Amino acid sequence: MSSGETLPAAQAGTVESMDCLVTIAASSGGRRIEISGSGAARFRSAMENKIIQVLDSLGGPGDLSVTVQDNGALDIVLGARVEAAYLRFREAMLR
Amino acid sequence: MRRTMLYLPGNNPNMLLRGHLFGSDGLIFDLEDAVSRSEKDSSRILVREVLRHSGFDGREVTVRINGLDTEYWRDDLAAVVPCRIHGIRVPKVDTPQTIRDLDDALSALESRASVPIGATKVFCLLETALGVWNAYDIATASPRVTAIIPGGEDLAADLRTSRSKEGTELEWIRRMMIVAARAAGVDALDTVFPSVTDEEGLRREALFTKQLGFDGKSVIHPAQIPIIHEIYDPTEAEVEKARKIVAAAREAAARGLGAVSVDGRMVDLPVVRRAEFTLERAGAMTEGGAR
């Protein structure tokens, strides 16, 4: 992609209690995962594993940027939000 | 036992995960009206994941899918049927053909997901005049149908009226719903009471629908649950009377008698059945509160 082009990005989730807002965008140089919010300090490693597991199960490419704004989302909610954001991202890429 | 079935918005993890703690007999994960068009996809995934990984204390779990006149319903079914839910709540059922189409789609999904064919029950929302008129035919269109439910706002709009505090516009419809449900051998469940702060109005409506013969009511707020349970649960006096009737009927049967008198009133088979139903409800109450 040329430097002047807008990179596709997609979001899913909310910042409400027990939820998280996941943003997925194209990136260069491998997967980048950024986590902020209530679970970031204690559960970062488990959350990263969950994100990678979901993306791998969907055949997600290596070059992706994943940003999570967490407000106490359980593992299953994080997984659901990553899946929804990735499927939206993939659709945006096809347009 | 379906005294109360609580609607939970399909895009709200907090409610989906904690809704069962409020003590309703059943849960309705809502993919229809509670979810905006832009969130249909993410809610479907979220509901699927919550269904896969949670137990809900053994409550009856259903999902309200989007109507068969939308582009969403097949994806909704594909997401939730493999999770082995108790049933599907289907909006705007107008004709028996809708149920036959749904039956076919459910059977195909159940077969693919190794769910026993027919395990997913169907709760029909009759939200148009045509749907209400066809209530009996809809209720008998498939053995999957386990309940019929009159609509609220949508039905009022289709009748070219609006919902009133007194429920005048739904009165005849509720009576008809009971007749159709009993004739078909399915449950009659009432629509929601929309005003969550009007406790007196809710009591009045629940007393009326219980007297008509309804099995329970859908609820949109946890605060409505104890009120409806209190009204739909048998009173101590009713339980005591039912015990006497059942005991007398058993004694009469043992002595080869057809009918018996309890407190000066002849007791025949329908009265005994009613008493057994009362005891069944009372038994469920004492076993675990909500169930």
Q: What pLDDT score was predicted for residue A5?
A: 55
Residues A92, B51: Cα–Cα separation, whole Å: 28
A7: pLDDT strictly greater than 70: no
Least CB-CB distance to B13: which of A73, A83, A84? A73
A89: pLDDT strictly greater than 60: yes
Q: What pLDDT score was predicted for residue B57?
A: 87
Q: Which two tokens stand for residue B213?
A: 């013969």
Answer yes or no: is A1 within a domain.
Answer: no
State the smallest CA–CA distance between residue A77 and chain B in angstroms.
Answer: 7
CATH of the domain at A88: 3.30.230.10
**Could you tell me where the DSSP H helices lie in chain B?**
13-18, 40-53, 73-80, 96-112, 129-133, 135-139, 153-158, 168-184, 199-212, 224-232, 236-254, 269-288
CB-facing half-sphere around the CA of A56: CA atoms within 13 A = 6
Answer yes or no: is A2 within a domain.
Answer: no
State the smallest CA–CA distance between residue B198 and chain A in angstroms.
Answer: 28
Q: 């939200």: which residue's tokens? A: B127
For the domain covering B4-232, report its CATH number.
3.20.20.60
More confident position, B135 or A62: B135
Answer yes or no: is A36 within a domain.
Answer: yes
Q: Are B76 and B63 in contact (CB under 8 A)?
A: yes
Domain count, chain A: 1
Q: 């997984």: which residue's tokens? A: A79
What chain B residue is nearest to A12 in terms of C-alpha separation? B42
State the smallest CA–CA distance between residue B196 and chain A in angstroms.
Answer: 22
* Number of Cβ within a 10 Å radius of residue B262: 18
Per the CB < 8 Å rule, is A84 touching B45? Answer: yes
Best interface-test mutation with B: which of A24, A77, A81 has the largest number of B CBs within 10 A?
Answer: A77
Q: What pLDDT score was predicted for residue A2?
A: 43
> How many whole angstroms from its chain centre is CA B173?
16
Q: Give the pLDDT band of residue A29 (cuts 50, 70, 90).
A: confident
DSSP string across B44-57: HHHHHHHHHH--GG
Residue partners of A70: CB distance under 8 A and separation at least 6: A20, A35, A36, A37, A38, A39, A40, A47, A78
DSSP string across B120-179: SEEEEEE-SHHHHHTHHHHHTS-TTEEEEEE-SHHHHHHTT----SS-HHHHHHHHHHHH
Biggest CA pair distance of chain B = 68
Answer yes or no: is A87 within a domain.
Answer: yes
Q: Can you give the residue range of the structural domain that contains A56?
A: 9-94
Q: Residue B11 has what DSSP assignment?
A: T
Mean pLDDT of all residues in chain A? Answer: 90
A52: pLDDT strictly greater than 70: yes
Q: What pLDDT score was predicted for residue A3?
A: 47
Residues of chain B with pLDDT under 50: 287-291
Measured between beta carbons, the chain A residues lying within 8 angstroms of B53 are 76
Residues B225, B2: Cα–Cα separation, whole Å: 11
Residues B149, B261: Cα–Cα separation, whole Å: 37
Answer yes or no: is A77 within a domain.
Answer: yes
| φ/ψ (deg, to 5) at A34 | -120, 130
